[in-house]
Amino acid sequence: MTAALLPNTFQPTIAGDGFAVEHAAHRVRPLDAAVYRRRRLVVLALALGMILGLLSFGRQADASPDPVAAAEATVVVVQPGDTLWTIARTLQPEGDHRALVSTLSDLTDGAVLQPGQRIIVPATAAG
């Protein structure tokens, strides 16, 4: 007994009485070549976008802060009883301290100072 492989010309379905009924299968026509080209272009664009995004993220992650700017920054350790005004007077002994106090407030996000807290003051702000 041999079986020939023929295209499927019918599709069985279950009728209301429980018996299989044969119906003509819906013929699927192939898509145009332009549709395949558009799909490939979309997939290529998405893949390139993901690759470029990963490369950009990798470069940003590898970027280290400027060592010269880090060396010029001053680290202030808050002592008991220190205020923004006393710290500003220590960093800038002469002149108007209001701008420096404002900068220190921004650096601490306006929070109450805690003893032992470290405040990193950029060299441009200190004087």
Q: Compute the distance between CA of residue 21 and CA of residue 13 in angstroms, rounded to an integer.
A: 5
Produce one character per residue of 36-71: b if its CB has 16 or more CB atoms within 10 Å, e if not: eeeeeeeeeeeeeeeeeeeeeeeeeeeeeeeeeeee
More confidently predicted of 72 and 60: 72
3-state helix, strand, coil in the chain (%, to 5): 45, 15, 40
Q: Which amino acid is at 49?
A: G
Overall average pLDDT of the 6-33 stretch? 65
pLDDT, residue 126, reads 67
Residue 74 has pLDDT above 90, yes or no: no
Whole-prediction pTM:
0.45
Q: Residue 26: pLDDT above 70? A: no
- The candidate with the shortest Cα–Cα distance to 72, out of 124, 16, 10, 11, is 124
Quick check: 9 pLDDT over 60? no
Q: Where are the domains of the chain?
A: 10-63, 67-126
In CATH, what class is 67-126?
Answer: alpha beta
Band (1; pLDDT cuts 50, 70, 90): very low
Q: To the nearest whole number, what is the mean pLDDT of the chain? A: 79
Residue 76 confidence (pLDDT) above 70: yes
**62: confidence class by pLDDT, cuts 50, 70, 90:** low
